[in-house]
Structure 1
Amino acid sequence: MRRGAEGQPVKINSLTALRFFAALGVFLHHFHFYEHTQNGWLQYTYKALFEGFVGVTFFYVLSGFIISYSYHNQAKRRPYTTGEFLFNRFARLYPVHFLTLGAAIAAYYGVANLGAVDGKVLAVNAALLQAFIPDPLYFFSFNGVSWSISVEVFFYVAFIALFVRLRTRYLAILGAALALTIAYLLVGPLANHPLNSWTFYINPAFRAVDFIAGMLIFRAFSSGRFRPSAGQSSVMEVGSLILLAAFAYVGMKHVPMTWRYDLFYLLPMMLVVWAFSHGKGIVSRLISNRLFVLLGEASFSLYMVHQIVIALALRNSTVNIDEPNQVLWFIGVTTLTGVVTSVAMYEMYEKPINDYLRKAWKRRSSPGLQTEKPA
């Protein structure tokens, strides 16, 4: 864990590194091109990698934890206004969103077909409101994965009420949300309903369960009542990953998709975030090096750009989907390309523009504050 100048913890390296693996899981999930392979080994590989979509559940649980953690530490050091909080969160999302939105339009439409872009859909997508519309023409429009940060926008606004105004009540809110979610899963639409992907995977109201769960983990973490030793942390970390793998194995064989979209994986993802939040175990020590922390920091760029990278790679490649060597080579090269692209994007665009916007807010908030120059 790194500490700021005032002694406050500002980043948990193990959780930062885990963001890379979650983004990588979603990346591998989106290699749908060989879904109909006739090769038995590739069929099983596809089913296993398909479960990588659960990385989104990890991101939402982690988001609830990290935003609570960050807000708590910021508010302890100095007054932290709602305006500054929302500006900082939006400053992280929108620049990357606008860049990848433009890249998606260029990749999928091209200059010659810009007239085919639906202006109404584009406006909704640009504003990050697409997750609220139960129509795939909207929620999967352009850079399809951006629906998930549309949900994040909802979380950021809801956070002010949940954490700042209702901090003593969100256990009850989580219980109510879980009860409603389970009830709807049991008596709601049938398994093949065309809107299930929105109802159980994208719907911001449903995904709020993950976010509130992360907030509760922070509450337990910040209470200080349990401080595991390095050995206990190692057991927790390894155990949580084994449990997650077991859930994935059972889930892809026996659990309906309506449950696997999110709720089925909530418990193991909560345990993963809780275990790694302490940053003391053997796995934390293995992944808290400079490389994995950098990859974790670039994970948002990786998440936002990877589907475009896959589309462009498929457009310029010919792969026999029944030949394992060709499929695995294509996946490996494309994944490496996406990772390298994301690191460059983070270092040259995401981080500089985010730093610039945050400093601009501070200058605006404190116009009389000037940096002294050395004599």
Structure 2
Amino acid sequence: MQTAQPNYFPALTGVRALAAYLVFISHYDYVGEDIFPAWLTRFFHEFHIGVTVFFVLSGFLITYRYYNNFQLTGNWFRKYLKNRVARIYPMYFLLTTAAFVYWYFTKDPVITKNFPSPFGLYLMNVFFVRGFFSQLWDTGIAQGWSLTVEECFYFSAPFIFYLAAKFKRLYVQPVIITAFGVLLVLIFRNVNWYGLFGNFTFMMLYTFFGRCFEFFVGMFLALQLLNKGFGRTNNIRYTYIGFVSIFALVAVMSRLPIPDGAVAGLQHPVGIILNNYFIAAAIALFFYGLLTEDTSMKSALALPFVELLGKASYIFYLIHLGYIYIFFHNWFDQLNEKAFNLYDKWGVDWPSPFQFGLLNLLYGFIILNIISIILFKFIEEPLNHYIRKSRFLESRRFN
């Protein structure tokens, strides 16, 4: 009798927190420029690989959960999409709406990039369309561009499953998808419509067509475990080999020259290959170890508190950059000024607890995690459960 496959992996939930924190570090590496050597700051700057971790993890989980029971029927597809909407959309919609409300009162160009129709841009954000335009991908909640990539995968996954089951050539599909992305660039790069598939670098870094291999390598891992189980016949520590390989490749990427007009080694052609393919493969190897080995790293990632951080990490990812963090940054500046005014009254020359950039970043990190947990517990999780139990997107005649 075949042993039932596990349905939930606490360590992989903990990995979500790790991925979100890597992205956080990559966005605020500049805070330590006066403290850390330049090579270390460059290394931290390439921690955007947290997004790659998310993509590989999505490919694995969607395939593991749905491959053996997918049906290309309207009812199944609607229920599948309902579950995806429940997981991704409520908090994204609420926080994106809040971002445009913030723009309404502040006119902060970071939100709209001076797009002529703010309401039109808002609709492009809430329907994930902005992610196809190189001039608009970082509007609204800038880091939300990755959700356009995720949604493309969610919509494609059942059809990918069908073709994989029918033709047994899963490895061919990412080649075809990327080739189609190349074709889109060749068609649209001369149109000059807000950068719609404007160039190859944008297509490879910010669209599903360029990032699809990251999902597929997660899919390969899921199929391997679904077919062969979680048993192992060797004692090779894939967890640590994969983990070290990830950051060794990041170190290589951090040594690449940054192209003109770019901000990271990721945007170098070699950086694109390292991130989209080699680091993705190393992440899958790391996951394979976490899923098939008992290690201290697995135990740490599966701790209840780390698991909670992982569950709240989606919200942390959405709020760690942008108007919410700007609010706290300005608040720390005001507290710093008040502290020194108070010291002047007292006639003392003490350091302010808010005068150090790294310390303020730590304060912000802690506060953002607290907010994320609160929003997860009281808004995201209840809405997720409510939508999943509702008849949203489902046809009544099938119930």
Shift of 1:275: 2.0
Residues 181/270 of structure 1: CA separation in 2 closer, same or farther (3 Å cut):
farther
For the aligned residues, what is the CA RMSD?
A: 3.6
Deviations 1:60-83 (A, max 9, x none): 11101000111146669xx98111
Range 81-90 or range 64-73, more displaced: 64-73
The 8 Å contact of residues 46 and 250 in structure 2, kept in 1 or not, is answered as yes
Residues 120/166 of structure 1: CA separation in 2 closer, same or farther (3 Å cut):
same
CA distance in 2, matches of 1:212, 1:89: 18
User: Is the aligned partner of 1:54 residue 2:49?
Assistant: yes
Which residue identity lines up with residue 14 of structure 1 in the other structure?
A
Which residue identity lines up with residue 248 of structure 1 in the other structure?
V
Shift of 1:266: 2.2
Shift of 1:279: 5.5
SS in 1 for 2:321: helix
Shift of 1:270: 2.2
| TM-score, normalization by structure 1 | 0.80
User: Is the aligned partner of 1:287 residue 2:301?
Assistant: yes
CA distance in 1, matches of 2:58, 2:246: 19
Deviations 1:213-254 (A, max 9, x none): 11111111211166227x836x21112111112112222013
The 8 Å contact of residues 96 and 350 in structure 1, kept in 2 or not, is answered as yes
Residues 151/286 of structure 1: CA separation in 2 closer, same or farther (3 Å cut):
same
Shift of 1:325: 7.7
- Counterpart residue number, 1:307: 321
**What is the identity percentage for the equivalent residue pairs of Structure 1 and Structure 2?**
21
User: Is the aligned partner of 1:269 residue 2:269?
Assistant: no
- Counterpart residue number, 1:352: 382
Match of 1:68 among 63, 66, 88: 63
CA distance in 2, matches of 1:108, 1:279: 48
Match of 2:332 among 305, 317, 320: 317
Which residue identity lines up with residue 327 of structure 2 in the other structure?
L
Gaps of 5+ in 2: 183-188, 190-197, 258-264, 337-353
The 8 Å contact of residues 13 and 279 in structure 1, kept in 2 or not, is answered as no
The 8 Å contact of residues 61 and 273 in structure 1, kept in 2 or not, is answered as no
Match of 2:312 among 252, 276, 298: 298
CA distance in 2, matches of 1:172, 1:363: 32
Which residue identity lines up with residue 260 of structure 1 in the other structure?
G
SS in 2 for 1:52: coil
Range 240-249 or range 337-346, more displaced: 240-249
Match of 2:156 among 155, 158, 161: 158
Deviations 1:165-199 (A, max 9, x none): 433221222355578999xxxxxx9xxxx956623
Look at both structures and tell me which one has the larger radius of gyration over its CA atoms.
2
The 8 Å contact of residues 47 and 252 in structure 1, kept in 2 or not, is answered as yes
Shift of 1:291: 0.7
- Counterpart residue number, 1:147: 145
- Counterpart residue number, 1:121: 121
Residues 349/7 of structure 1: CA separation in 2 closer, same or farther (3 Å cut):
farther
SS in 2 for 1:254: coil
- Counterpart residue number, 2:253: 251
Residues 368/208 of structure 1: CA separation in 2 closer, same or farther (3 Å cut):
closer
User: Is the aligned partner of 1:221 residue 2:216?
Assistant: no
- Counterpart residue number, 2:262: none
